[in-house]
Amino acid sequence: MDPRLSALFAEEAHLVGIDGPTNDLAKLIVEDSKHHLKVFSIVGFGGLGKTTLANQVYRKIRGRFQCHAFVSVSQKPDTKKIIKDVISQVSFEDDEFTKDMENWDETKSIAKLRELLQDKRYLVIIDDIWSILAWNSTKCAFPENKFSSRIITTTRICEVASSCCQGGDDQIYKMTPLSNTHSEKQFFNRIFGPEDCCPDMLRQVSSAILKKCGGLPLAIISISGLLANRPRVKEEWEKVKRSIGYDLNKSQSLEGMKNILSLSYNDLPPNLKTCLLHLSNFPEDYVIERGRLLMLWMAEGFISEEHGLSRHEVGDKYFYELINKSMVQPVDISYDGVVRACRVHDMVLELIISKSIEENFVTVVSGRQTVWENSQCFIRRLSVQQIDRRIASELAKKDLKHVRSLIVTSSSCIKHLPSLDKFESLRVLDFQGCTGLEEFDMNGMKKLFHLKHLSFRGTRISELPSGIVMLHNLETLDLRDTNIQELPAGIVQLTKIKILFVTSYSKEIEIPVGIGKMTNLEGIYDFNITSSTVGAVEELGNLINLRILHVRYIVKREESHKYIRHAEMLVSSLRKLNLWSVCMNGGNSSLFELLDSWSPLPSRLLRFELHGFLLLIQTSKVDCTRTQKSFVPNN
């Protein structure tokens, strides 16, 4: 059964929160003074109510048009059938015009529809478009005319919506989740009726369930329908709350919601499915930084170079494609449109956790799902989101030698995690944000010969495990926001490292002597130039693959003369490197003045930033300000 049918035939009295969007969109469409054909595209995540909104607008305004039609495209469009469906709805039962229509080919069908609509004011809803190709093959059937004709499309994919709205006056309408008030009204109406007589004992668990629904009408309707058939007892509702992800596979009441969500998942190519399933490593409401995600994907081997693009560029493409397809929600968008992080809607997270269990892709250790749910299979990837002494004891009994990645987002009882030497196949080890890590025994790290990615970011550890110098396959080391004051001398023997982050709460970290041996480095972040030796700064020039250089030059102006050799060596190194991005944090203009001699600039330099330098700006008066400069060369 088509999962959109319930939206098409929904009774208006049962809809909540739809009046405002319906009136807004209807007003945009019918009150516009433009007489040429305009396209409006409704875009949003599956289950937000795009079809419902389009149908309500259609019902409200179709009387203002000479002819109208509502057709669905779906994932496998049949253009000829779509065109004939439109003809059937707009031909006013003209049997003569549609005579022998079943014998028309696609070209004749399009020509006939254009003939039919050429001199009429028409309204056509094209629902559920999944690709630009599907839109392009359909739009040619709708002629431009001067009768204020309108087309409304719906899609889950931002790129498709943009393709539909390429005219100067075309508009995209972005669906938003229901407000808390409307969510509660829809939820309680379904269970208790319009009088809203929810018992006080169920209020708290209801709020938790609604939070998980995240304003998604389909989720609210599905779960409230499930609860309507359950006893109105707190313990029963708590069970539903805890098992929503499991019930996606088991409950007929939730089958419609699973089908709607699965349509988006199944439409993804295999590489994007893999990247999406990986997000089940993170708990609900977790903000996942784009940079961190890309490093994890690369370490897992999900990303490889293609068509002249670097792995990082390919990863960026995957990240934005998941946003484009409304599978993840963008968070922290910068002034230039760059998305710095993302979040997964709770219902999508439930779906991908369900899929991960099916595929044995990620094993999540949390309060709801414990490690033994897939005890018949090897654990391939382990996400520790909530752990206590009992669960840690159970985990220690498992065969962990096949685990490829361990991501820990829990800080409770982390000292009880199994010893690292049990994870002999580990490629990824991520402790980002974990407190109390200093209590965890990391002596087994020296045996993690396959490790590629290691993150202690935000853990406040003060000393690196001695075994880190044995990790000769390590490619990414993230030590940001820790209390580490220096790197072990042997760190320069890890010649496969490509990305190295260092920032400490307690001390600026100096560039290690011998860094010139680490010729695979592509990016280094936040070493302090002035606390390093002149020789170490000079060695930066040997890093032939370096593309990103972020450093600190912290010095008082009256002491600038003490560090002139550091500045000269830094500029000398810059001249030898073909950098893409350079960022410097400092405190006075001496280095800025010296950088005038940095010539020629690298041909591929895209970004050059100076933070915190005091610059003299000549205007009508001399103004001394703390500022940030960003330069983007023409090339």
Q: Which of 227-236, 368-377, 452-461, 589-598 has the lowest mean pLDDT?
A: 368-377
> For the segment 321-365, what is each residue's pLDDT rounded down to a tens digit?
999 888 899 998 887 788 999 999 888 888 898 888 888 999 988
Confidence at residue 519, expressed as pLDDT on a 0 to 100 scale = 95
Q: Which position has the token pair 């319930």?
A: 6
Confidence at residue 309, expressed as pLDDT on a 0 to 100 scale = 85
Tokens of residue 130, six digits? 């999944």
Q: Return the SS3 of 539.
A: helix
Please state, for a pLDDT cut of 70, what percent of the chain lies above it: 87
Q: Which one-letter amino acid corresponds to residue 414?
A: I
Question: Across 219-310, where does the E strand assignment appear?
Answer: 288-289
Confidence at residue 376, expressed as pLDDT on a 0 to 100 scale = 62
Please tell us whether the domain made up of 5-174 is placed in CATH 3.10.180.10: no
Give the pLDDT band of residue 445 (cuts 50, 70, 90): very high
Tokens of residue 437, six digits? 């890590």
Confidence at residue 539, expressed as pLDDT on a 0 to 100 scale = 96
Same fold, 5-174 and 359-579: no
Reply yes or no on whether the pLDDT at 229 is more than 90.
Answer: no
Q: Which of 205-209, 315-319, 455-459 has the lowest mean pLDDT?
A: 205-209
Q: Edge-to-edge, what's the strand order for the sheet holding 288-289?
A: 288-289, 339-343, 329-333
> For the segment 531-542, what is each residue's pLDDT rounded down to a tens digit?
899 999 999 999
Q: Return the SS3 of 104.
A: coil
Degrees, nearest 5: CA angle 53-333-50 = 10
Reply yes or no on whether the pLDDT at 243 is more than 60.
Answer: yes
Give me the CATH code for the 359-579 domain, please.
Answer: 3.80.10.10
Reply yes or no on whether the pLDDT at 1 is more than 50.
Answer: no
| Residue ranges covered by each domain of the chain | 5-174, 180-260, 276-347, 359-579
Top mean pLDDT of 157-171, 195-209, 212-226, 602-616 is at 157-171
Q: Which of 39-53, 210-224, 327-341, 542-556 has the lowest mean pLDDT?
A: 210-224
Give the pLDDT band of residue 368 (cuts 50, 70, 90): low
SS (H, E, C) 312-327: HHHHHHHHHHHHHCCC
Determine the Cα–Cα distance for residues 220 and 422; give it in Å rounded to an integer: 43
Q: Return the SS3 of 127.
A: strand
Determine the Cα–Cα distance for residues 180 and 207; give it in Å rounded to an integer: 9
